Amino acid sequence: MLHFYALYFLGALPFLSAPPRRLLRAAFGAMALGFAGLVLLDYEAHCNWQTLAYSDFCTLDGFLRHSFFNGWHPVFPWVSFVFLGM
C-alpha cells in the first residue's frame, strides 16, 4: 500500500509550484487517463477474483500494471485527489 503513496507524491513533485489552474487540469487529465485505461485496456488481466490473488506482481511488468492501472488504488485516477488537495 505504501508504494501507491510514493507514486502519488512522485507524480505531484513537478506540480509543487504550479498555479491552481494547472493543478485542476492535471487532476482532470489523471481522471481521463484512468477512464481511458478502463475503456481501452483489459482491467481484469492477471487478476484472480476468486482468491483475490494478483499473478506476476513480483515482475516489473506486473508491478507497473498493478500500480498504474488495475491495482486496488492505481495512480490513475487516484493521483487526481492529490492534485485537488494541493
pLDDT tens readout for residues 76-85: 999 999 999 9
What is the overall mean pLDDT for the chain? 88
Residue 39, Cβ density class (10 Å: 0-12 exposed, 13-18 middle, ≥19 buried): exposed
Cα separation, 18 vs 48, in Å, equals 40
Domain count, the chain: 1
pLDDT grade, residue 41 (50/70/90)?
Answer: confident
pLDDT at 1 (0 to 100):
74
Please say whether the beta carbons of 82 and 14 come within 8 A.
no
Mean pLDDT of 25-53: 86
According to the per-residue pLDDT averaged within each range, which of 4-18, 31-45, 67-81 is highest? 4-18
Host domain of residue 11: 2-85
DSSP assigned state of 47: E
* Lowest-pLDDT choice from 20-24, 43-47, 73-77: 43-47
Angle between helices 2-12 and 75-85 (to 10 degrees): 60
